[in-house]
Amino acid sequence: MLRDLATMLEDLQGGMQTLAQQSAVRLTQAEMTLPVDVALVLKDGSCALLADAPRNAADAPWWQAQSRLTVSFDAVPTEWLP
């Protein structure tokens, strides 16, 4: 099921933070490239970009040319935050 791209990105970031906390590792930077299903749809009178990572290899085989999303997260020192 596709969902708002922003929601998918928040979930990816949350998953990385949880993994880092469970591993007792301080995560300062992470980058991943993954296949992604995307759709541009009309929603509430405007366009919305829906996306999600395929749930299994049958949905989007890794060896075929798929839409790919590269995401990079960097830690920001707290003194830079508003």
Distance CA(48)–CA(19), nearest Å, equals 30
The pTM for the full model equals 0.67
Residue pair 74/29 in contact by the 8 Å Cβ criterion: yes
pLDDT digits (tens, 9 = 90+) for 18-43: 888 888 777 788 888 888 888 889 98
Distance CA(12)–CA(2), nearest Å, equals 14
pLDDT digits (tens, 9 = 90+) for 58-78: 655 555 556 788 888 887 665
